[in-house]
């Protein structure tokens, strides 16, 4: 082609910035208040928040769903630059990396419902959307945010209107759309670990009927996981470049079309590092194996490699949680290209909408699974995914009846090779190659109706039927470590139709639905109570380390009955907002994932999830905003078995902390030349386990992290200056823990970033 993808992205992003400054002169003459629209309204009370939680625009306080919404201003004030950072601002939600690659996957947990399987073919039980387009791979869930208008987090089953993989909830990231007025911005930032970023957007009218928006972002960062090995390269680098272009046209007075094309790429970066902590087995009569894993004391020589050392003779003595010695060679490459066509047609009192999307996603990843400076093992895997979806939907109103109905189709094809090699050059050498393929075809019909009996009382009912067919192939080769040539005679695990027949294909019909009563006792008050049914289709385990048998490869679909009630109040002339909800989930065949050694498997378990959330927002005076959110959760999964358990027992769900709490305070001072603001926010995530068998090695201690930001808006110049500190106390927040005691004599830990200091300059017009 004559130009690399990386070169194209750099050129395209420069084009965004160039277009911005070329258009600045024209835009400043035409802009009418675009700058002021980006800052919180200095009103006497809280303004209205518009959400699309029920596939149409509504006031947040009129929607009988537990929804949290963050607009562009809130995202900037909280320093949210990445999809995973939304968890810091929303109670009851986690979105964390569960593997050593900073961008290989991000498992979304809503109200304790998640699946921590790191295999890329697994759909999570909570859906991730970008501009109403479903992301079918967890590897797509980690991405940089740019030109974002709003993020909506919906808790509870959303299967009626959203469908796929939303039995626990969903997150929808919504981009800024083309407008009829010229507007745009450019922002330059610099922060710790030599992190530099450039984000820009420009948009406006091409003609009376056509408008556009072009946005892009570049970010580069040195790794924050410090490699203490001689000549070692730091891990968790950032090298992100993204571009999104949109054109919207009024084809007729009733028909509007919008085309959106986006590309995001991360060229090869150093990833795949862990904080390794030596571990060993201690006698325990309650264990099926007679022992349980425990951290290795510094004075105990468990392997004959020296006191406190792991199986390879290594012990990390650096006190920093983001410093460890590991061998080089770890990397991550990924890119995603998505094209969507949005059509909207006005039909009197109804609107017909169509969303057509094609997404191509690919990543390659290699890590150091032994967590030390010796090259004991390598694990690499990847995904090559093609996804096509089509949705047709009609929204309308007839007297007291408001309705939504439609059809949805999803088609995906993917391959995901995985290879695990270790102890090369020793009698214990192994080389296992797994080749996996999965295909999915799914169609659904759905409808939801709301009937307004009186001004105060409304009944909502909805139903969705989904028919899906999923086929799966997985083959394991035991390669010769000294001559790694793929030889069919070396197959030791064969899960293909030719060998297992119908077991490699699952076809089923699933239904989800809801019925709910909404009651408005006053103008700014809402009470709701309802029952809903959520579902998630069956799946297949990936045999990524040669440890599964054929009968353990498939797992069944899951379903739950959710009983939920909530209340929303705007009080004291809308200076105080209180939204609260309580729920009980009766879960059947929950798809829980159990880690053992360097792999694991998903199985089906019955159980329950119960708890509640509360979000309080206050603006006692126009220049002070206060937010507080908290969630409480209890979970139980029945008859769970694991590596160290004798028989089965009841356990907690994975990534299901009993408490999560978040809060923020923003104080603004009006000065003659602009607005000075001080913001503080913090969040606490409680104790939890990384694996549903609740083994000691998977325990994650709770932690509190807080941030601060100082901002200065020069309104007349459209300039916004900011200085921030993230993780002020430099807390080592543990995200995930993997038990590798049996393989390498250690536990592998994944931590959030350390203290991060930086600033930015933003020019808006």
Query: Residue 718, Cβ neighbours under 10 Å: how many?
Result: 19
CATH number at residue 215: 2.40.170.20
User: What average pLDDT does range 95-121 have in this prediction?
Assistant: 80
Look up residue 728 and give its DSSP letter.
T
- Between CA 80 and CA 190 the distance in angstroms is 15
Q: How many CA atoms lie within 13 A of 121 on its CB side?
A: 29
Those residues whose C-beta lies under 8 Å from the C-beta of residue 711, and which sit 6 or more positions away, are 77, 675, 676, 677, 679, 720, 721, 722, 723
Share in percent of the chain as helix, strand, coil (round to 5): 10, 55, 35
Q: What is the dihedral of CA 516, 522, 523, 528, to 10 degrees?
A: -20
Check whether 241 has a pLDDT greater than 60: yes
Band of residue 598 on the pLDDT scale cut at 50, 70, 90: low
Helix (H) or strand (E) holding 19: helix 5-30
User: What average pLDDT does range 728-746 have in this prediction?
Assistant: 91
Closest by CA to 475, choosing from 456, 455, 461, 490, is 490
What local confidence, expressed as pLDDT, does residue 470 receive? 97
**Quick check: helix, strand or coil at residue 490?**
helix
Query: Residue 313, Cβ neighbours under 10 Å: how many?
Result: 14
Band of residue 167 on the pLDDT scale cut at 50, 70, 90: confident
Strand partners for 494: 475
Sign of torsion over alpha carbons 137, 140, 142, 147: negative
What local confidence, expressed as pLDDT, does residue 755 receive? 97
- Between CA 511 and CA 370 the distance in angstroms is 44
* pLDDT tens digit sequence for 650-676: 999 999 999 999 999 999 999 999 999
User: What average pLDDT does range 383-392 have in this prediction?
Assistant: 97
Band of residue 115 on the pLDDT scale cut at 50, 70, 90: confident
What local confidence, expressed as pLDDT, does residue 33 receive? 33
What local confidence, expressed as pLDDT, does residue 425 receive? 76
Check whether 548 has a pLDDT greater than 80: no
- Between CA 610 and CA 475 the distance in angstroms is 40
* pLDDT tens digit sequence for 271-312: 888 888 999 999 987 777 788 899 999 999 999 999 999 998
What local confidence, expressed as pLDDT, does residue 449 receive? 97
What local confidence, expressed as pLDDT, does residue 9 receive? 39
Q: What is the dihedral of CA 203, 210, 130, 362, to 10 degrees?
A: -90
Band of residue 192 on the pLDDT scale cut at 50, 70, 90: very high
- Which tokens in the block code for residue 577? 């907002």
> E strands of 84-237, at which residues?
93-96, 107-110, 126-130, 133-134, 148-155, 169-175, 183-191, 195-205, 210-221, 226-227
* pLDDT tens digit sequence for 122-164: 888 888 999 999 999 888 888 999 999 999 999 999 989 998 7
Closest by CA to 100, choosing from 623, 737, 746, 582, is 737
What is the C-alpha end-to-end distance of the chain, expressed in Å?
36
> E strands of 313-429, at which residues?
323-324, 331-347, 350-367, 377-398, 401-415, 418-422
Q: How many CA atoms lie within 13 A of 625 on its CB side?
A: 23
User: What average pLDDT does range 201-229 have in this prediction?
Assistant: 96
Place of tokens 């008050």: 525
- Between CA 641 and CA 634 the distance in angstroms is 20
248-to-204, 255, 343, 500, 592 alpha-carbon distances in Å = 10, 11, 10, 50, 43
Is residue 112 within 8 Å of 635, Cβ to Cβ? yes
- The pTM assigned to this predicted structure is 0.91
Is residue 692 within 8 Å of 651, Cβ to Cβ? yes
Check whether 19 has a pLDDT greater than 90: no
Closest by CA to 374, choosing from 541, 480, 232, is 232
What local confidence, expressed as pLDDT, does residue 359 receive? 98
**Quick check: helix, strand or coil at residue 441?**
strand
Is residue 50 within 8 Å of 60, Cβ to Cβ? yes
Range of the domain at 511: 5-764
Quickly list DSSP for 561-611. Answer: EEEEEEEEEEETTTTEEEEEEEEEEEEEEEEEEEEETTEEEEEEEEEEEEE
* pLDDT tens digit sequence for 338-385: 999 999 999 989 999 999 999 999 999 988 888 888 888 888 889 999
**Quick check: helix, strand or coil at residue 735?**
strand
Query: Residue 502, Cβ neighbours under 10 Å: how many?
Result: 8
Closest by CA to 395, choosing from 345, 340, 451, is 345
Look at 404 and 374; give whichever has higher pLDDT.
404
**Quick check: helix, strand or coil at residue 61?**
helix
Q: Name the domain count of the chain.
A: 1
Considering only CA atoms, give the Rg of the chain: 26
Angle, CA 41 vertex, CA 716 and CA 26 arms, to 5°: 40
Is residue 614 within 8 Å of 620, Cβ to Cβ? no
Is residue 608 within 8 Å of 584, Cβ to Cβ? yes
Look at 593 and 439; give whichever has higher pLDDT.
439
Question: Exposed, middle or buried: residue 339 (CB in 10 Å: 0-12, 13-18, 19+)?
Answer: middle
Check whether 6 has a pLDDT greater than 70: no
Mean pLDDT estimate for the chain: 89
Look at 467 and 270; give whichever has higher pLDDT.
467
Query: Residue 4, Cβ neighbours under 10 Å: how many?
Result: 10
**365: alpha, beta or left? (left if phi > 0; alpha if psi -120 to 50):** beta
- Which tokens in the block code for residue 723? 């200085």
Closest by CA to 758, choosing from 713, 717, 727, is 727
What local confidence, expressed as pLDDT, does residue 667 receive? 96
Is residue 314 within 8 Å of 308, Cβ to Cβ? no
- Between CA 370 and CA 373 the distance in angstroms is 9
What local confidence, expressed as pLDDT, does residue 532 receive? 96
- Between CA 440 and CA 508 the distance in angstroms is 12
Look up residue 674 and give its DSSP letter.
E
Closest by CA to 261, choosing from 238, 242, 287, is 242
Check whether 14 has a pLDDT greater than 70: no
Strands 659-671 vs 674-685: parallel, antiparallel or unpaired: antiparallel
- Between CA 357 and CA 334 the distance in angstroms is 20
Check whether 42 has a pLDDT greater than 70: no
* pLDDT tens digit sequence for 451-509: 999 999 999 999 999 999 999 999 988 887 766 666 777 888 899 999 999 999 999 99
Helix (H) or strand (E) holding 638: strand 624-640
User: What average pLDDT does range 33-61 have in this prediction?
Assistant: 69
Q: Which among 117-121, 307-311, 741-745 has the top mean pLDDT?
A: 307-311
Largest CA distance in the chain: 80
- Between CA 161 and CA 168 the distance in angstroms is 14
Return contacts of 420-424, CB within 8 angstroms, 24+ apart: 420/369, 420/377, 420/378, 420/379, 420/544, 420/545, 420/546, 420/598, 421/377, 421/378, 421/379, 421/481, 421/484, 422/370, 422/376, 422/377, 422/378, 422/743, 423/376, 423/377, 424/375, 424/481
- Between CA 86 and CA 679 the distance in angstroms is 16
């Amino acid at each position: 082609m004559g130009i690399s993808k990386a070169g194209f992205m750099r050129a395209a992003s420069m084009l965004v910035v160039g277009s911005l400054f070329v258009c600045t002169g024209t835009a400043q003459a035409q802009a009418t208040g675009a700058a002021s629209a980006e800052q919180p309204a200095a009103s006497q009370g809280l303004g209205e928040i518009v959400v699309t939680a029920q596939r149409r625009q509504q006031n947040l306080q009129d929607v009988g769903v537990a929804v949290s919404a963050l607009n562009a201003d809130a995202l900037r004030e909280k320093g949210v630059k990445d999809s995973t950072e939304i968890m810091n601002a929303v109670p009851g939600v986690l979105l964390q990396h569960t593997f050593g690659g900073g961008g290989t996957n991000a498992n979304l947990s809503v109200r304790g419902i998640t699946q921590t399987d790191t295999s890329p073919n697994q759909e999570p039980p909570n859906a991730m959307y970008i501009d109403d387009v479903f992301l079918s791979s967890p590897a797509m869930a980690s991405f940089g945010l740019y030109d974002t208008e709003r993020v909506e987090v919906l808790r509870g089953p959303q299967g009626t209107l959203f469908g796929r993989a939303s039995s626990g909830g969903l997150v929808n990231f919504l981009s800024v759309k083309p407008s009829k007025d010229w507007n745009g911005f450019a922002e330059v930032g610099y922060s710790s670990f030599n992190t530099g970023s450039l984000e820009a957007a420009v948009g406006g009218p091409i003609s009376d009927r056509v408008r556009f928006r072009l946005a892009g972002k570049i970010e580069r960062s040195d790794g924050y996981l410090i490699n203490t090995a001689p000549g070692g390269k730091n891990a968790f680098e950032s090298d992100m470049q993204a571009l999104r272009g949109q054109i919207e046209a009024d084809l007729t007075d009733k028909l509007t079309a919008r085309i959106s094309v986006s590309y995001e790429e991360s060229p090869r970066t150093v990833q795949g590092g862990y904080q390794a902590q030596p571990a060993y087995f201690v006698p325990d009569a309650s264990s099926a194996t007679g022992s349980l894993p425990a951290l290795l004391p510094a004075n105990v020589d468990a392997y004959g490699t020296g006191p406190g050392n792991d199986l390879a003779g290594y012990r990390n003595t650096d006190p920093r949680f983001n410093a460890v010695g590991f061998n080089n060679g770890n990397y991550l490459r990924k890119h995603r290209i998505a094209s969507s066509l949005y059509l909207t047609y006005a039909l009197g009192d109804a609107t017909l909408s169509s969303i057509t999307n094609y997404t191509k996603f690919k990543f390659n990843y290699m890590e150091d699974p032994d967590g030390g400076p010796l090259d004991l093992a390598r694990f690499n895997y990847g995904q090559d995914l093609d996804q096509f979806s089509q949705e047709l939907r009609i929204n309308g109103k007839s007297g007291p009846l408001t309705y939504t109905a439609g059809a949805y189709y999803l088609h995906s094809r993917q391959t995901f090779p995985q290879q695990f090699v270790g102890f090369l050059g020793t009698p214990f050498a192994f080389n296992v190659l797994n080749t996996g393929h999965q295909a999915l075809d799914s169609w659904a019909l759905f409808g939801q109706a709301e009937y307004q009996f009186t001004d105060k009382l409304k009944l909502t009912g909805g139903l969705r039927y989904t028919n899906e067919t999923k086929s799966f192939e997985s083959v394991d080769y035991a390669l010769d470590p000294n001559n790694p040539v793929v030889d069919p005679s070396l197959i030791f695990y064969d899960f293909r139709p030719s060998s297992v027949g119908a077991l490699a294909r699952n076809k089923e019909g699933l239904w989800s639905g809801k019925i709910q009563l909404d009651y408005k006792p006053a103008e700014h008050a809402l009470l709701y109570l309802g029952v809903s049914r959520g579902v998630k289709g069956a799946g297949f385990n990936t045999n990524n380390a040669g440890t599964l048998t054929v009968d353990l490869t498939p797992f069944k679909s899951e379903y739950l009955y959710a009983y939920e009630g909530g209340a929303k109040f705007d009080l004291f002339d809308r200076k105080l907002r209180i939204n609260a909800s309580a729920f009980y989930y009766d879960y059947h065949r929950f798809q829980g994932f159990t880690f053992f050694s360097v792999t694991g498997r998903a199985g089906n378990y019955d159980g329950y999830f119960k708890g509640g959330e509360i979000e309080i927002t206050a603006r006692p005076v126009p220049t002070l905003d206060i937010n507080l959110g908290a969630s409480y959760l209890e979970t139980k999964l029945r008859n769970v078995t694991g590596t160290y358990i004798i028989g089965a027992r009841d356990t907690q769900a994975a990534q299901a902390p009993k408490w999560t709490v978040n809060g923020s305070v923003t104080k603004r001072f009006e000065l003659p030349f602009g607005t000075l603001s001080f913001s503080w926010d913090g969040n606490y995530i409680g104790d939890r386990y990384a694996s549903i068998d609740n083994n000691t090695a998977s325990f994650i201690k709770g932690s509190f992290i807080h941030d601060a930001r100082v901002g200065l808006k020069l309104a007349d110049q459209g300039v916004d200056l900011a200085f921030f500190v993230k993780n002020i106390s430099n807390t080592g927040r543990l995200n995930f823990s993997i038990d590798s005691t049996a393989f390498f004599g250690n536990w592998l830990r994944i931590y959030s970033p350390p203290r991060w200091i930086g600033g930015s300059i933003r020019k808006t017009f």
